[in-house]
Amino acid sequence: MNNTSDNRNALPIGYRLENYQIQGVLGDGGFGITYLAKDTQLDALVALKEYLPNELAVRQTDDYTVQPKSQTDADDFAWGLERFVKEAQTLAQFKHPNIVRVLHFFQAHNTAYIVMEYELGQSLADFLKQGDTATEEELKAFLPTLLDGLETVHNAGYLHRDIKPSNVYIRQKDRSPLLIDFGSARYDLGSRSRSVTMIVTPGYAPFEQYQSDSGQQGAWTDIYATGAVLYRFVSGKIPSEATERVSAIMRNKSDPLKPAVEAGRGQYSEPFLAAIDWALAVNEQDRPPSIKAWRNQLFPKPLLKDGPFIGPSVEIDDDLPTRPVDPPAPPIEPSTRPLTQPPPRPPQNPPSPKPKRRGVGMAVVFLLVFLAAGGGWLYYQMKLDKAGIAEENPRVEEESLPQFAHVGAGEQGAPRLVEGSNQPQPIPPTEMESSAVAQAQREARQRAEDAAAAAEKARRERESATIQSDREARQRAEARERAAAAQARLPSGTLRIMTGAGVRLRQLPRRNAKKGAILQIGTIVSELETNQGPEAWYRIATPNYDEGWVYGGYTMSFNPDRRAQAYIEVANNKLNNRRASFGDLVDLYHFLTRANQEVELESAVELKLLRLLTLQRSLDKISSSQPSERPHSQWLNDHRAEIVYLDTRSRWFVKREKFQQLHDKYHFLPIAARIMQEINRRIF
């Protein structure tokens, strides 16, 4: 863990965000900072990831807010923030032991934070920095579960996009791997802002990832990066950059990447090394199309006792899928970026001796099209950025790519090699081109002005939201303290929660016994005694020191550690009860008003949604002839700002805008999708 003083943008140790107190910095990069933090309510350590792209924004020293560096950066910053939120929503859907678990998400200081589980251990990068090596058996010990996690991501329609040693974490307790720091949001922002250091990690990113258009990316993209991690172990070196490899192929030179079968010979088995080489093929068409295909090669089934190893090729066996990949499971919404299918495989010619470099022709065509389409900026930018990229091992400086110039009659702007020249040959701009440039400049200025105005508006809205968020956090903390104090007043015993509304305590365990105090729905009580006669009755004590018997059908067991789940279950049971009276629903509404302040944010929002639905159910109980009757008139008056009467239906309804406001305020949470369903059901 780093000291926060090493990063001028990092929050100081001891600083508090909601109920999370900063303990130190776990890591930082071009996209943000990950802190070690303490959840002061649960007394547990968590990882807290902050969105702070250092090429676009800086930390203000007076109030710790994050602000874009300039008006031109404001639009990209806001766009990236939205992708960061969507990535958090996506990760929250995965419940896999080898994928980092998202616990919570919130916005503050003009940026956003993802709260994730923290476990003791170290990354593969830390392992390598210590000079340690790993045997084939050690690598194969964690590979199966790592691939299972990655396959789960792919089957859901997503990519990791930044697999490297520092993003594979090995737990201390059982040495199992954990995929962390997904890179889809970072890649999207890097492509938009044309920041090379955001888009790729040199040596681990395949060539297709250097394109701003991710149409060529798929499972094979993550497989290349995983193969590069294994290559780092077997060779002791970071693989050559994909751009260097394609450049060498174009110049008719040998691939600068020494094959794994040579680099690890004598230390690792040839089948294992050949599987790594398969993953590191320059052309994505020559790589494994899926985790399943690669897994079969890494862990081959023993078909022949002493048969020769058959290296990877398009004709592997009947189990391995060929392109296109089988359709993945329906993607989880909202998405980061779905997997895409690669271009169809060209027809296979009859078997013939394979050239020494597979896929060379395809790679050359790929690079020519890439440069012609305007992607060449990325390669040359990489040349400029190399000095600032931290490397584990120094690399030999690559040779320059052949230069291109815009020449050729009838093909203005088409790239062509210029023999005998090291510099592009410029063509004087035409009058039409000059006009187009001027128009583009005007449009760019207008976009910058619009972005600045939008950023200022968003800043004001976020300031207001932050104040409101802080107020809600304080209210939740106070409500939890009140709930804990009430629970502390209960005598020892099994806890139960009242599921019935307006339940009377009885002096004896029978329905016609003398009545006592009234218990509201959601009241937490302590079980003192059980009477299992024809009906189950419980003698209970309340926080107000009342004692008596209640019918078992009006209660259920309660676990304080699962308070939110219990509250939601109580509310849903009552809402789904067709026999619930108007008074029952009023009691439930008041319970939900209190309950949503006692739980964490996402559950609180769900309870707020249930409260709106409860209000609607209560309105359904009021007929057109009853509005002037008490308590209906008082109820309608109390909620006049939230409801509307439709003459065409002779009924009262909760306004659609109340659901819309709830959605807009918490759109970054998964529950927002359910709120939107309720909005779509309402036309008023």
Q: What is the pLDDT of residue 49?
A: 93
- Between 102 and 485, whose confidence is greater? 102
Indicate the pLDDT class of residue 589, thresholds 50, 70 and 90. very high
Q: Tell me how far CA of residue 684 lies from CA of 621, 624, 659, 677, in angstroms.
A: 19, 19, 11, 14
**What is the C-alpha to C-alpha distance for residues 661 and 676, in angstroms, rounded to an integer?**
11
Q: Return the amino acid letter for 465.
A: A
Q: Is the dihedral of CA 562, 563, 568, 573 positive or negative?
A: positive
Q: What is the pLDDT of residue 28?
A: 81
**What is the C-alpha to C-alpha distance for residues 286 and 280, in angstroms, rounded to an integer?**
9
Count of C-beta atoms within a 10 Å radius of residue 654: 22
How high is the mean pLDDT of the chain? Answer: 77
Using CA atoms of 466, 79, 220, 90 in order, give the dihedral in degrees to the nearest 10: 30
**What is the C-alpha to C-alpha distance for residues 15 and 38, in angstroms, rounded to an integer?**
11
- pLDDT (tens digit per residue) in 200-228: 789 999 988 886 555 578 999 999 999 99
- Positions of E strands within 454-493: none
Q: What is the pLDDT of residue 29?
A: 73
Q: Find where tokens 């994928």 sit.
A: 99
Q: What is the pLDDT of residue 602?
A: 84
Q: What is the DSSP string of 349-371?
A: PSP-PPPSSTTHHHHHHHHHHHI
Indicate the angle between helix axes 136-155 and 291-298, nearest 10 degrees: 160
Q: Tell me how far CA of residue 14 lies from CA of 9, 18, 36, 528, in angstroms.
A: 15, 12, 11, 44
Contacts (Cβ under 8 Å, ≥6 apart) of 48: 17, 20, 22, 34, 35, 36, 37, 113, 114, 115, 116
Please determine, for residue 285, whether its predicted confidence score (pLDDT) is greater than 80.
yes
Which residue spans of the chain are classified as CATH 1.10.510.10?
121-325+333-342+358-407
Indicate the pLDDT class of residue 183, thresholds 50, 70 and 90. low
Which class in CATH covers the domain with range 4-117?
alpha beta
Looking at domain 121-325+333-342+358-407, what is its CATH homologous superfamily? Transferase(Phosphotransferase) domain 1 (1.10.510.10)
**SS3 breakdown of the chain: % helix, strand, coil, rounded to 5?**
45, 15, 40
Helix, strand, or coil (residue 154) = helix
The alpha carbons of the chain give a radius of gyration, in whole angstroms, of: 31
Helix, strand, or coil (residue 400) = coil
- Token pair recorded at residue 489: 């007043």
- Between 148 and 381, whose confidence is greater? 148
Q: What is the pLDDT of residue 533?
A: 72
- Highest mean pLDDT among 381-390, 396-405, 458-467, 671-680 belongs to 671-680
Determine which helix (DSSP H) or strand (DSSP E) holds 343, and give its type and residue range.
Answer: none
Please determine, for residue 465, whether its predicted confidence score (pLDDT) is greater than 80.
no
**Residues 225/204, Cβ–Cβ less than 8 Å:** yes
For the ranges 288-297, 485-494, 522-531, 674-683, the lowest mean pLDDT is seen at 485-494
- Token pair recorded at residue 331: 């993607």
pLDDT mean over 103-120: 92
Convert 389-427 to b/e letters by CB count within 10 Å (16 or more is b): eeeeeebeebeebeebbebeeeeeeebeeeeeeeeeeee
For the ranges 20-24, 381-385, 410-414, the lowest mean pLDDT is seen at 410-414
**What is the C-alpha to C-alpha distance for residues 338 and 154, in angstroms, rounded to an integer?**
9
- pLDDT (tens digit per residue) in 615-672: 999 999 987 666 667 778 889 999 999 999 888 888 899 999 999 999 888 887 788 8
- Token pair recorded at residue 179: 């995929």
Which residue spans of the chain are classified as CATH 3.30.200.20?
4-117
- Between 250 and 354, whose confidence is greater? 250
Count of C-beta atoms within a 10 Å radius of residue 526: 21
Please determine, for residue 463, whether its predicted confidence score (pLDDT) is greater than 70.
no
Q: Is the dihedral of CA 512, 513, 515, 521 positive or negative?
A: negative
